[in-house]
């Protein structure tokens, strides 16, 4: 192993008698719902038009899932379609799942994280430049005022030597801080010497803290796939070893879905992507001398570089 150089009316009401009995995912079973909420969220019903809390509601903030509190829509995507239900022309990346409706005509939308029924999506109506209308039941959502929205989010990427990954990602506008460290192994608080031995199972990785109002997880993930070679399994450039495996450690289902979608896009473009998609586990900060390595050294990475892929 070489040593070290070593990331609308087209909407129709469904009556109670016509509701499907398909339940949502098990993540929702501990949430206490009113009968009205169960009718919509669990049994895919529809609240009466013009009756929802958020139909004629225009405060700035985010709309989150009533069941699991995953972010769904930003207020900037909301518009008045005159249909009687809240309308959005875009979703937060990876937050909403689309699937054919049981009626055989419409497209149902659900929370990607827990499967809660949201409503339906329509295209081609010309309401906005995006030509899309998410017609959502107010009862499926909770509004979070802008002042209450967290100003930061985190993401974890592994793509070879963490020095190079850190060097390129920290240049992105909206990235607030980056820490190099270790993740995915079976030893607590590993040292760099242990990592290099290959005996702990850890990946060299970076944890990125970013401002989601300035850069999205999807933008960061795209950059991650462009600053390392996602077709290389356990090496980048001349670096060899299991600690150099390519992986995205997702913090939530939205990050997972975005990553998997980007990988599929790359595969369709001819890249034999080997990047793993794994749930985030304990992240251990690396020794101080690994942090901001190239900034302190005054040089640039030799095992990473930028290649446009999206």
Sequence length of the chain is 310
User: Token pair of 228, please?
Assistant: 């390392």
Catalytic residue flag (residue 161):
yes
Q: Which residues contact 12 (CB under 8 A, 6 or more apart)?
A: none
In angstroms, the CA 168 to CA 166 distance is: 6
Catalytic residue flag (residue 114):
no
User: Token pair of 111, please?
Assistant: 């929370």
Q: Where are the alpha helices (DSSP H) in 68-174?
A: 162-169
209 forms beta bridges with 154, 177
168-179 as b/e: b if 16+ CB within 10 A: bbbebeebeebb
Residue 108 half-sphere exposure, CB side, CA atoms within 13 Å?
21
Query: Residue 264 is inside which H or E element, if any?
Result: helix 253-268
Q: Which of 65, 111, 135, 303 is catalytic?
A: 135
In angstroms, the CA 143 to CA 88 distance is: 14
User: Token pair of 139, please?
Assistant: 């009862």
Q: Provide the 8-state DSSP code for 84.
A: S
Q: Which of 68, 83, 111, 161 is catalytic?
A: 161
Active site positions, annotated: 135, 161
């Amino acid at each position: 192993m070489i040593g070290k150089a070593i990331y609308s009316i087209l909407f129709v009401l469904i009556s109670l008698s016509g509701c499907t009995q398909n339940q949502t995912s098990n993540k929702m079973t501990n949430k206490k719902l009113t009968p009205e909420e169960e009718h919509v969220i669990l049994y895919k019903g529809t609240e009466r038009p013009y009756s929802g809390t958020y139909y004629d509601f225009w405060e700035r903030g985010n709309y989150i899932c009533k069941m699991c509190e995953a972010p769904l829509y930003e207020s900037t995507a909301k518009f008045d379609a005159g249909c009687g239900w809240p309308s959005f022309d875009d979703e937060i990346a990876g937050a909403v799942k689309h699937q054919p409706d049981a009626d055989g005509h419409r497209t149902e939308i659900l929370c990607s994280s827990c499967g809660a029924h949201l409503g339906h999506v329509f295209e081609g109506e010309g309401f906005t430049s995006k030509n899309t209308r998410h017609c959502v039941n107010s009862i499926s959502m909770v509004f979070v005022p802008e002042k209450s929205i967290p100003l930061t989010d985190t993401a974890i990427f592994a793509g070879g030597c963490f020095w190079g990954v850190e060097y390129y990602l920290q240049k992105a506008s909206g990235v607030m801080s980056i820490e190099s460290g270790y993740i995915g192994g079976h030893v607590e608080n590993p040292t760099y010497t242990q990592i290099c031995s290959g005996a702990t199972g850890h990946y060299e990785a970076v944890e990125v803290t970013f401002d989601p109002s300035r850069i999205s997880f999807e933008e960061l993930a795209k950059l991650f796939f462009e600053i390392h070679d996602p077709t290389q399994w356990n090496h980048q450039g001349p670096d060899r070893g299991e600690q150099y495996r390519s992986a995205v450690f997702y913090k939530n289902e939205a990050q997972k879905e975005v990553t998997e979608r980007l990988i599929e896009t790359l595969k369709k473009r001819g890249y034999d992507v080997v990047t793993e998609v794994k749930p985030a586990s304990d992240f251990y900060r690396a020794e101080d001398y690994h942090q901001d390595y190239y900034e302190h050294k005054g040089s640039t990475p030799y095992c990473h570089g930028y290649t446009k892929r999206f």
